[in-house]
């Protein structure tokens, strides 16, 4: 059964079916039937989601880089694997959305305080023992071979 022949579903009632119907309407160029208001909301939310994911991955990456730098005797394969995984996910995000690349420095600076706090908690070291400002460049954050 074609999604266009199914009675329109409300955005609030079944999100997945609503998205499928909106996609079918777009494909059929039935623009007058689109739920434009909710489509705009969802597109903006998608942008926010990608930016939040970039920030989250940068936080975890920076936390583990700090751990490696300030507890080098505890550097573990698990930390190194997490660093590698986060960089891979960041690379995938920017490959899919190159417009995120110029935001990396700003997002990393915004999220650094939390990464610093998490590193202190994870290591048991004083937060004051970690730099107040982000000590890594964007190039270092993205460099697969960089581990302090």
d(C-alpha 84, C-alpha 64), whole Å: 10
Segment 1-34, tens digit of pLDDT: 444 455 777 877 788 888 889 888 889 998 898 8
Segment 111-137, tens digit of pLDDT: 999 999 999 999 999 999 999 999 999
Prediction pTM value: 0.80
DSSP string, 60-126: HHHHHHHHHHH-GGG--HHHHHHHHHHHHHHHHHHHH-GGGGGGHHHHHHHHHHHHHHHHHHHH---
C-alpha separations of 115 from 14, 29, 104 in Å: 37, 46, 15
Which uninterrupted H or E stretch holds 142? helix 138-142
């Amino acid at each position: 059964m074609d999604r266009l022949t199914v009675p329109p579903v409300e955005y609030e009632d079944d999100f997945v079916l609503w998205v499928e119907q909106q996609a079918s309407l777009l494909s059929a160029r039935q623009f007058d039937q689109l739920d434009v208001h909710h489509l705009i909301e969802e597109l903006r939310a998608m942008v926010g989601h990608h930016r939040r994911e970039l920030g989250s991955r940068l936080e975890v990456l920076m936390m583990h880089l700090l751990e490696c730098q300030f507890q080098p005797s505890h550097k573990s394969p698990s930390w190194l694997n997490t660093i590698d995984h986060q960089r891979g996910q960041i690379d995938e995000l920017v490959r899919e959305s190159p417009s995120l690349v110029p935001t990396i420095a700003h997002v990393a600076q915004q999220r650094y305080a939390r990464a610093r706090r998490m590193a202190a908690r994870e290591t048991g070291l004083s937060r004051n023992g970690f730099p107040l400002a982000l000590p890594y460049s964007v190039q270092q954050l993205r460099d697969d071979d960089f581990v302090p």
